[in-house]
Amino acid sequence: MEPLFRPPAQAITPRIQAAVLCIGVGFLILLFRLWYLQILDGDRYFALSTNNRLRVRPVEAPRGFILDRNGEILVENRPTFDLYTTPEDVTDPKEVAGILAEILGASPGEVEARFQEGHDRPYQPLLLRKDLDERMMVAVERRLDLPGVSLHVRPVHAYPSGGAAANLLGYVSEVNQTQLAREEYQDFLPGENIGQAGVERRFDAFIRGIDGGEQVEVDARGRALRLVSRIDPRSGSNVYLTIDKRIQDAAEAAFAGKKGTVVAMNPTTGEILAMVSRPSYDPNLFAQRLSGEEWQRIATDPSHPLANRAFQAQYPPGSIFKLMVAIAGLESGALTPETKFYDPGYFYLGSARLDDWKKGGHGWLDLRGAIVNSCNVYFYQAGLKVGIEDIVKTAREFGLGEPPGLGDEAKGNLPDPQPRKRGQPGWSAGNTVVASIGQGLVVTSPMQLLAMVSAIASGGTIYRPWVVKKITSLSGEILDEYEPEPMRHVPVKPETLAFIRQAMLGVVNEGTGTRAKVPGIPIGGKTGTAQLVRKGEGKGQADLKDHWWFVSFAPVDSPQIAVVVLVENGGFGGQVAAPVAKAVYEAAFGARQPFPRPGTRTAEANEPDIED
Amino acid sequence: MFDRRLVTHFDWWFAGMILGMACLGILTIYSANALAVSAFRRTLYLRQLTWVGIGVVAMVAACLVSYRTLARIAYVIFGLSLVLLVLVLLIGKAGLGAHRWIRIGGLAFQPSEFAKLGLVLFLARYFDDHRERLHEPRTMLVPAAFTALCMLLVLKQPDLGTALLLLFIALSIMLMLGLHWRYLVPFAVGGAAIAPLLWMVLKDYQRRRILVFLNPNLDPLGAGYHIAQSKIAVGSGGAFGKGWLAASQSQLNFLPLNHTDFIFAVLAEQWGFLGCLVVLLAYFYLISKGFRIARDCTDLFAALLSAGVSVMLVIQVLTNTAMVLGMMPVVGIPLPLLSYGGSSLLITMLGLGLLLNIHMRRFMY
């Protein structure tokens, strides 16, 4: 048999010579090809390159749908018509500009100026107006014979329920100048659309799909003579959220006319079931080309409609923070369920008198009673007994003062008690007293409080909040699926949490939160008021009313849903915030479809059997 | 103990040619993106400049240690590049729908580029170790297995072009070593048998590219569009070109990927046939010099290493230019030294540095 190898010493030299010979031939072939393209055919190609008769027109891919956890549509597509011009093809700019200006209700100068903008990108159609209304459509269709004018149909995302969940869903608009300068956007052209906030931005790569294109041969006036070829755009993927549309709708309805936020979450998984932030905006507006003024109006609105208050805003937690004082005390032993303090209606710290919210006071209270009645005087004394260090330590364990894990979040603040130093005002007993009822330096986002109450509900595990459940292709194939992700476990004794849950049940059944009561469903809650420091100075009163909180979960013995409600400048605490939570629970538990759906972690046997 | 002969044997011409080509690359990238809308695109040439700087350091470093030292750690380097290939699949950054990049700090690099050099080093060392047992067919098992593993990992990204490149590099090294021609027959037969299977594994865009090559009118907007526009750009350059910064075809976004895979088209439009001739001659000089270095080696490892590096270069140059000239399917193979892309540039300069290294130490062993 012939050997596999010739000895290398003999083989290498001749084979290298052969290789170099072959390579030389390869280079010669390339040179011949170049000669053919550049010398023999050069003139033809030169002509082709100066007058590109074959035009490529991108065809924007339809964005994928955004659906709720049960497949209900939250965001779909609708067709829109955009008016384009190719300036090189416009024979008489003055006349054409005049006609178009009349149709669009703009000034001829404006349209003519647009014709001038295309010089650095010859033969590319320039957008004149997005999303024509019906009247303009009819007028334009009659004048499509104008050279250099064309109408393109384009699918855009439509948000059937307008501003509902808008801050969570986000909106789509053209890539802006700042973005174009960045690396992530290097493949974007001006005028291309991109998800700009919320889910639309975070999952843009999945939702956007792959644009197609049309290659069109045009005549000397730029009109399409014939479609040479077309690649169909590939529609984007569908994104299923963890949101439950029924709960979302109920929360939106209950929150109508209010400012603030409502968030509902499954405390045993971290799935966000509903997220309302008000005031918000109508994402449909962004499909049109927003004028600079309109954009300015939204962006500089003093009520910040673009911010998602659920996790991008922060407020003093008020009485909600008493839960942290109670847990810290129970854990350190400074408090027991039997610890009693007397509330005469006021509390003297040195010579400063602090009133309880209830005139005449609550009298003798134990810890449960203090939580149920949200007694300030009790917690002033309890806070001093527990000490600020332990309170802050417990609050940190519950994730306060840290971003909750959704991205772009407010991280809140916890006080950093420093002993009094010479010449500097350090931490004082007064500070502790104020912090014990969640005022002063304590600041939290609604999402942080929701995570906190979820930990109390679920037995100490805090899950990363998540909003996207899965992503599927158009054919239904699952491209990506997300799972609950435990972020931290709060090292608190189960008895402590059980006690707190029972006390919170008392809040709703007999205390400050009775407005949240839903017959047949044991709900645990806690009310709170965020006092604004400037209150009482007498200017701009409407904006300076207190904010009202209600955090809660249900059912108390096997929690499936936790809700945080924050009403800005709301009026009267439990009266304003608690009914919103009630509406959420009614939607969650009252529906025919059992909740959560089969396959989630909670045993169905625990579910209350309620019909309304 | 520094041997003065190292300096006198250093090939300054060769090194100068490399640097000159890299600089030509920067100029071309600058002009290709000068009219780009994206401000990031307009500053790409600065990034390439940084990479050329890093490449020069790498080249000097590759000259300093003796290639003997390199032979000792060849397996480690190869192992490392395999780890990187696995890593990129797990944490890679997606570009054009493929996981090809790993990002460290502000720099992104492509492990598949490192794999090319890693594979060459591995094969050179392995065959050097087993030079007495080349006649036994089972000696071939290990290199065949590792080449296949590399290819699979790269295919998974997916990057068909680089996977095939790895196969050709491995085959060429074996041929160089004296593998009998007739043993290539099983490869050819096997290839024909696997082809339909491979077709099923291929991604849509890869299939389209192959189909388009067979019939360019099939899909003028996808790969066919690339080829058509690229031919217009090249052809319109004529004999002497339109001049730097004056190449409308390649600058005005008619030609996508103009600074990476299709940079030769930009060059051809700007400098015409004359410019292309000079560039191709420069490549031929570098490559044939590489093979001459391989021929003059007394040491099998060095011979295979320099032959491997030269093969790596020549395949990339020939396929990339043939693709730009519309003679090949569009595969994602960059043009060494000229295309924008740090990893490709760095690996090319490292490889050429190794050639310099072997050349200047040819008298020592």
Residue range B133-173, pLDDT digits in tens: 877 778 888 998 999 999 988 887 777 788 888 998 998 88
Q: Which of A253-267, A587-601, B167-181 has the lowest mean pLDDT?
A: A587-601
Higher pLDDT, B200 or A459: A459
Q: What is the 3-state secondary structure (H, E, C) of chain B?
A: CCCCHHHHCCCHHHHHHHHHHHHHHHHHHHHHHCCCCCHHHHCHHHHHHHHHHHHHHHHHHHHHCCHHHHHHCHHHHHHHHHHHHHHHHHHCEEECCEEEEEEECCEEECHHHHHHHHHHHHHHHHHHHCHHHCCCHHHHHHHHHHHHHHHHHHHCCCCHHHHHHHHHHHHHHHHHHCECHHHHHHHHHHHHHHHHHHHHHCCHHHHHHHHHHHCHHHCCCCHHHHHHHHHHHHHHCCCCCCCCCCCHHHHCCCCCCCCCCCHHHHHHHHHHHHHHHHHHHHHHHHHHHHHHHHHCCCCHHHHHHHHHHHHHHHHHHHHHHHHHCCCCCCCCCCCCCCCCCHHHHHHHHHHHHHHHHHHHCCCCC
| Yes or no, beta carbons of A42 and B178 under 8 Å apart | no
Distance from first CA to last CA of chain B, Å, rounded? 16
Retrieve residue B72's tokens: 């000792």
Give tens-digit pLDDT for A180-199. Answer: 777 777 677 767 788 888 88
Mind telling me how many Å the CA of A176 is from chain B's nearest CA?
11
For residue A205, the chain B residues in CB contact (below 8 A) are 94
The pLDDT of residue B121 is above 70: yes
Q: Kindly list the residues from chain B whose CB atom is less than 8 angstroms away from the CB atom of residue A192.
A: none
Q: Is residue B120 assigned to a domain?
A: yes
Q: Tell me, yes or no, whether B284 lies in a domain.
A: yes
Please indicate whether, in this complex, the C-beta atoms of A122 and B252 are within 8 angstroms of each other: yes
Q: Does A12 touch chain B (CB under 8 A)?
A: yes
A27 with B249: Cβ contact below 8 A: no
Contact predicate A440/A415, CB 8 Å: yes
Smallest CA-to-CA distance from A513 within A455, A436, A444, A582 is with A582
Nearest residue of chain A to residue B303 (CA atoms): A12
For residue A28, being part of any structural domain is answered with no
**A188 contact residues in B (CB cutoff 8 A):** 38
Contact B301, B173 (CB under 8 A): no
Radius of gyration, CA atoms only, chain A: 33
Question: Mean pLDDT throughout B13-30?
Answer: 91
- Could you list the beta-strand ranges (E) of A178-251: 193-195, 212-218, 224-231, 238-241
Identify the pLDDT of residue A477.
Answer: 82
Q: Which residue has the higher pLDDT, B40 or A414?
A: A414
Average pLDDT rounded to a whole number, residues B207-219: 55
Pairing of strands A272-278, A341-343: unpaired
A182–B176 C-beta distance less than 8 A: no
Residue A603, pLDDT > 60, answer no
Q: Which two tokens stand for residue A271?
A: 């799935």
Q: Has residue B90 been placed in a domain?
A: yes
- Ranges A215-219, A592-596, B193-197: which has the least confidence: A592-596
- Which one of B141, B212, B232, B327 would you mutate to disrupt binding with A, by most A Cβ within 10 Å of its Cβ? B232
- Selecting from A12, A187, A231 the residue whose C-beta is nearest the C-beta of B303 gives A12
**Residue A185 in contact with partner chain B when CB distance is under 8 A:** yes
Quick check: A596 pLDDT over 70? no
Which of these, A476, A574, A565, A581, lies nearest to A518 by C-alpha position?
Answer: A581
pLDDT at A104: 80
Tell me whether residues A4 and B37 touch, CB distance under 8 A: no
Q: Of A43-57, A502-516, B179-193, which one has max mean pLDDT?
A: A502-516
Q: Supply the range of the domain harboring residue A378.
A: 312-403+411-444
What's residue A240's pLDDT?
93
Give the CATH number for residue A138: 3.90.1310.10
Question: Is-contact A88 A148, C-beta < 8 A?
Answer: yes
Phi, psi of A523 (to 5 degrees): -115, 135
Task: Mutate one of A6, A10, A34 to test the B interface: name it (highest B CB count within 10 A).
Answer: A34
ipTM of the complex: 0.88
Which of A124, A156, A188 is where one domain is finished?
A: A156
Q: Do B321 and A228 touch (CB under 8 A)?
A: no
Residue B365 lies in a domain: no
- Assess A48–B contact: CB distance below 8 Å, yes or no: yes
Q: Looking at the predicted structure, is the pLDDT value of residue A219 above 80?
A: no
Confidence of residue A495 (pLDDT cuts 50, 70, 90): very high
> How big is chain B, counted in residues?
365
Residue A334 lies in a domain: yes
The secondary structure element, H or E, covering residue A471 is: strand A468-472
Band (pLDDT 50/70/90 cuts) for residue B53 is very high
**Looking at the domain assignment, is residue B57 inside a domain?**
yes
Q: Which residues from chain A sit within 8 angstroms of residue B103, using beta carbons?
A: none
Q: Name the 3-class secondary structure at A473.
A: coil
Quick check: is B74 in a domain? yes
pLDDT in tens, A337-384: 988 998 888 888 878 888 887 788 888 999 999 999 988 889 999 998
Q: What is the pLDDT of residues A34-74, one digit of tens each?
A: 999 888 888 888 877 766 566 667 778 889 999 999 988 89
Residue B326 falls within a domain, yes or no? yes
Contact A46 B235 (CB under 8 A): yes
User: What is the model's pLDDT at position A136?
Assistant: 82
In a domain, B118, yes or no: yes
Q: Is A552 a catalytic residue?
A: no
Q: What is the mean pLDDT of chain A?
A: 81
Q: DSSP characters for A34-48? A: HIIIIIISHHHHHHH
φ, ψ of residue A239 in degrees (nearest 5): -110, 120
Residue A535 has pLDDT above 70, yes or no: no
Establish if A361 belongs to a structural domain: yes
The enclosing H or E element of A204 equals helix A204-207
Confidence of residue A428 (pLDDT cuts 50, 70, 90): confident
Q: Is residue A421 part of a domain?
A: yes
Q: How far is B242 from chain A (nearest CA, A)?
A: 10
Residue A261 domain-assigned (yes or no): no
CATH number of the domain bearing residue A392:
3.40.710.10
Minimum mean pLDDT range among A122-126, A405-409, A439-443 = A122-126
CB pair distance less than 8 Å for A2 and B273 = no
Last residue of a domain, one of A111, A141, A156: A156
| Number of domains chain B contains | 1
Nearest to B41 among A4, A35, A186 (CB): A186
Write down the pLDDT at residue A292. Answer: 65
Domain that includes residue B294, residue range = 5-360
Query: Which chain B residues have a beta carbon less than 8 Å from that of A215?
Result: 220-221, 225
Q: What residues in A contact B322, CB-CB < 8 Å?
A: 30, 33
The answer to whether the Cβ–Cβ distance between A6 and B291 falls below 8 Å is no
User: Maximum Cα–Cα distance for chain A, whole Å?
Assistant: 111
pLDDT score at B156? 78
Q: Residue B101 pLDDT more than 70?
A: no
Number of domains within chain A: 2
Lowest-confidence pick of A172-186, A352-366, A592-606 = A592-606
**What distances in angstroms separate CA B272 from CA A42, A49, B263, one per listed residue?**
10, 14, 13
**What confidence category does residue B284 fall into, taking pLDDT thresholds of 50, 70 and 90?**
very high
Compare all CA atoms of chain B with the CA of A229 and give the residue at the minimum distance: B220
